[in-house]
Structure 1
Amino acid sequence: MTWWHALIVVVAGVWAGTINAVVGSGTLVTFPVLVALGYPPVTATTSNAIGLAPGTLSGAWGYRHELKGYWPQTAKFAVASFLGAIGGTILLLSLPKDAFEAVVPVLVGLAVVLVIIQPKVSKWVAERREQNGTEHKPGPLLMFFIFLIGIYGGYFTAAQGVMLMAVMGMLLSEPLQKLNGVKNVLAAVVNLVAGVIYAFVAPISWAVVLWLAVGSLAGGFLGAKIGRKLPPAVLRGVIVVIGVAAVIQLVVKQFAS
């Protein structure tokens, strides 16, 4: 890896770590960057999962005050994420490489759509809470959804944070800042589980992992402390532009091959 490739990966890691701590979907920054630098989609996905894990951990630590008194419940959610992540990694490693490359543009497109509609979902959740005024407790349905999102996150990490926020926002009555902290913890669990498994049995670029880890670690702290003051629309706009560009690039590459 050349020095300027490493610099690009570090910058992408910082931006992704910041975005993951604030709104999620940092993979939509790093994945297209890695593919553009010439890494195969599977290698980009596995290296991405390991490299972004430190950023999800630092983001979760940055939200520790919002989670005060809620750690026991968060730990229960984490079990579902843990099991789901194992299922997702098994899917990625079991399915043919061609199948993953074929479905990646669809997954990236889905992630972009989720990022676009996230404000509307948040608004709908807030209005629903005001109208109902009822207390929503964690239940089997929420655990099932967290497990499914864990499978998705273990297979392809993009927008798992947006999915978690949407599901928890609809099925829990906790403040959104607290839910954002829970989201960071669950994303960290999924990335760590997937990263550990991939490190032993999947194609990995350790140079990418190193520089992504450096950038995402800094970005996670930045997102938890400063990123919450940034206009969400700006972050979301960058994610959408990069995501759309990634879809176009992946589709063109498939047709060319």
Structure 2
Amino acid sequence: MQLLEALAIGGAAVAAGAINAVVGSGTLITFPTLLAFGYPPVLANVTNNIGLVPGTLSAAWGYRRELRGQLPRLLRFGAASLVGGLAGALLLLRLPESTFRAVVPVLILSACVLVLFQPRVSGWVARRRERGTAGGVDGGTPLWLGVLGTGVYGGYFGAAQGVVLMGLFGTFLRDDLQRLNAAKNVLAAIVNGVAAVVFIAVATVDWAAAGCVAAGAVVGGLAGARIGRRLAPAALRAVIVTVGVTASVVMIVR
């Protein structure tokens, strides 16, 4: 690996780690970066997933104060994330690479739409909370199934799974948004973690690139948990969407 390549991947991972801590769509930064350096899509996805795991763990650690008292919730929905992440990872490995190449541009563009509408989702959640209609304590079976489905998506590709989770939480749960964001980070770590275990066991991984992603994502995850709320949301979303749309166009053209 060339030094410039390592620095570019690591820098993208710093941004991705911070974005994952706050918004949850950092894959839209690192995955296109790996594609730009010539990594095949499935290899790039597997390598990116493994590399981002330490970053999601660092983001969860950064929100540890908001996690206090949430163990029952995390156990309940963590089981759904575990099963979903495992299923998504197995789908990625069992389906033909041509399927991934065809589906991923659609997934990326869908993730970009979610990122664009994230402020509206947050505003809608806040209004429901003010009216006292933001759901109950555990969300019941519908929320569990929603977390399960998000886990499948996260294990298969994962961009913007955090946005989906926050939308689900805002619909079904009544709690402080920062506490819900902390729970989101833990569930994303579970999905990425179980998928990474599967990939390490049976898939090809570029460990040099994964190491660059991991190092950058840890720094970004800690920074995002600490100062992420001070970032200009509009600028952040603009970067994510620009990179995501570019990656989709590149994959379609290929």
Common fold by TM > 0.5: yes
> Paired residue for 1:144?
145
d(CA) in 2 for partners of 1:242, 1:231 = 17
How much has 1:72 moved relative to structure 2? 2.3
How much has 1:3 moved relative to structure 2? 0.9
Assess, with a 3 A threshold, how the Cα gap between structure 1 residues 228 and 134 changes in structure 2: closer, same or farther. closer
d(CA) in 2 for partners of 1:197, 1:134 = 36
Q: Aligned to 1:226, what secondary structure does the other structure show?
A: helix
d(CA) in 1 for partners of 2:134, 2:178 = 19
Q: Is the 8 A contact 2:128 2:134 kept in 1?
A: no
Q: Is the 8 A contact 1:16 1:30 kept in 2?
A: yes
Q: Deviation per CA, 1:49-100, whole angstroms, max 9, x where unpaired? A: 1000000000000001011111221122111100000100111111111111
Please tell me the residue identity of whatever aligns with 1:28.
Answer: L
> Paired residue for 1:156?
157
> Paired residue for 2:105?
105
Q: Structure 2: which 5+ residue stretches go unaligned?
A: none
Percentage of matched positions with identical amino acids: 53
> Paired residue for 1:201?
202
Q: Is the 8 A contact 1:42 1:97 kept in 2?
A: yes
Q: Is 1:86 paired with 2:90? A: no
Q: Aligned to 1:154, what secondary structure does the other structure show?
A: helix
d(CA) in 2 for partners of 1:198, 1:127 = 41
List structure 1 runs of 4+ shifted beyond 6 angstroms.
Answer: none
Please tell me the residue identity of whatever aligns with 2:60.
Answer: A
Q: Aligned to 2:24, what secondary structure does the other structure show?
A: coil
Please tell me the residue identity of whatever aligns with 1:248.
Answer: V
Please tell me the residue identity of whatever aligns with 2:38.
Answer: G
> Paired residue for 1:131?
131
What RMSD over aligned residues (CA atoms) do the two structures have, in Å? Answer: 1.1
> Paired residue for 1:236?
237
Q: Aligned to 1:107, what secondary structure does the other structure show?
A: helix
d(CA) in 2 for partners of 1:203, 1:126 = 43
Please tell me the residue identity of whatever aligns with 2:81.
Answer: S
Assess, with a 3 A threshold, how the Cα gap between structure 1 residues 134 and 109 changes in structure 2: closer, same or farther. closer
How much has 1:125 moved relative to structure 2? 1.8
Q: Deviation per CA, 1:7-46, whole angstroms, max 9, x where unpaired? A: 1111011000000001110000000000010000000100
Deviates more, 1:139-148 or 1:120-129: 120-129
> Paired residue for 1:17?
17
Alignment of 1:171-190 (within 5 A): 171-190=172-191
d(CA) in 2 for partners of 1:147, 1:75 = 13
Alignment of 1:18-97 (within 5 A): 18-97=18-97
Q: Is the 8 A contact 2:77 2:187 kept in 1?
A: yes
Q: Is the 8 A contact 1:42 1:203 kept in 2?
A: no
Deviates more, 1:5-14 or 1:244-253: 244-253
Q: Structure 1: which 5+ residue stretches go unaligned?
A: none
How much has 1:132 moved relative to structure 2? 4.0
- After TM superposition, the score normalised by the length of structure 2 is 0.97
Assess, with a 3 A threshold, how the Cα gap between structure 1 residues 195 and 145 changes in structure 2: closer, same or farther. same
How much has 1:137 moved relative to structure 2? 2.1
d(CA) in 1 for partners of 2:92, 2:134 = 40
> Paired residue for 2:116?
116
Q: Is the 8 A contact 2:135 2:172 kept in 1?
A: no
Please tell me the residue identity of whatever aligns with 1:25.
Answer: S
Q: Is the 8 A contact 1:161 1:183 kept in 2?
A: yes
- After TM superposition, the score normalised by the length of structure 1 is 0.96
